[in-house]
């Protein structure tokens, strides 16, 4: 039997570990100069791109407004516009840097809809590759992540800088 080790997932699975007070999206926006620590890939005027610390797939990104808006109707037109522009840019960057074959783009509003963060609007961009689904998640409830978050961040960040973010 082969063993797959993913110790960084334990904090998420057990919902343990140190938690910074407040909203992690808001904290990520406010901590300018600590982008890598917070996995912030780029900042616009009204919104920003952040990597998902507990991704569904490698290079799973999220776009969130800087403002603490809990739902789509709470965000301004400027935030909606820029979030969508950043989402399109993320898709293009993922195609160019990690050679995705497709992606899932979505917003989960409400706990029953799968929202892990209920009080801060965000858009998921989940990269997909042909053959990225195998027996592991189905039979063992295990997802294998082929690349460490920090390495993925280092691969993606230069593209966001090139786009002025």
Mean per-residue pLDDT of the chain: 86
Q: What is the pLDDT of residue 38?
A: 96
In a domain, 139, yes or no: yes
Q: What is the pLDDT of residue 135?
A: 47
What mean pLDDT is predicted for residues 31-51? 97
Count the domains in the chain. 1
- Structure-token match 């808001």, residue found: 26
In a domain, 85, yes or no: yes
Q: How many whole angstroms from its chain centre is CA 53?
A: 7
User: Highest mean pLDDT: which of 16-25, 91-100, 127-136?
Assistant: 91-100
Report the distance separating Cα 80 and Cα 129, nearest Å.
Answer: 28
pLDDT digits (tens, 9 = 90+) for 102-123: 999 999 998 888 888 889 999 9
DSSP, collapsed to helix, strand or coil, labels residue 85 as helix
Contacts of 111 (CB under 8 A, 6+ apart): 118
pLDDT digits (tens, 9 = 90+) for 72-82: 999 999 999 99
And the tokens for 67?
A: 């403002």
In a domain, 4, yes or no: no
Residue 138 has pLDDT above 60, yes or no: no
Q: What is the pLDDT of residue 139?
A: 42
In a domain, 1, yes or no: no
Domain holding 81, by residue range, is 23-158
Q: What is the pLDDT of residue 132?
A: 72
Q: What is the pLDDT of residue 116?
A: 83
| Residue 73's CATH number | 3.30.428.10
Q: What is the pLDDT of residue 136?
A: 46
What confidence category does residue 143 fall into, taking pLDDT thresholds of 50, 70 and 90?
low
């Amino acid at each position: 039997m082969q063993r797959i080790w993913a110790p960084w997932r334990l904090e998420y699975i057990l919902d343990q570990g140190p938690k910074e007070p407040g909203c992690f999206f808001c904290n990520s926006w406010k901590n300018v100069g600590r982008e890598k620590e917070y996995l912030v890939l780029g900042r616009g005027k009204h919104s920003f791109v952040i990597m998902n610390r507990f991704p569904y797939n490698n290079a799973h990104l999220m776009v969130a407004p800087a403002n603490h808006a809990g739902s789509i109707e709470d965000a301004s037109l400027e935030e909606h516009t820029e979030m969508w522009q950043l989402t399109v840019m993320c898709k293009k960057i993922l195609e160019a840097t990690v050679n995705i074959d497709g992606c899932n783009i979505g917003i989960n509003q409400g706990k029953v809809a799968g929202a892990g963060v209920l009080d801060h609007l965000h858009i998921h961009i989940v990269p997909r590759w042909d053959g990225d689904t195998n027996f592991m998640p189905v039979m063992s409830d295990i997802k294998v992540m082929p690349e460490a978050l920090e390495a993925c961040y280092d691969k993606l960040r230069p593209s966001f800088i090139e786009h002025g973010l």
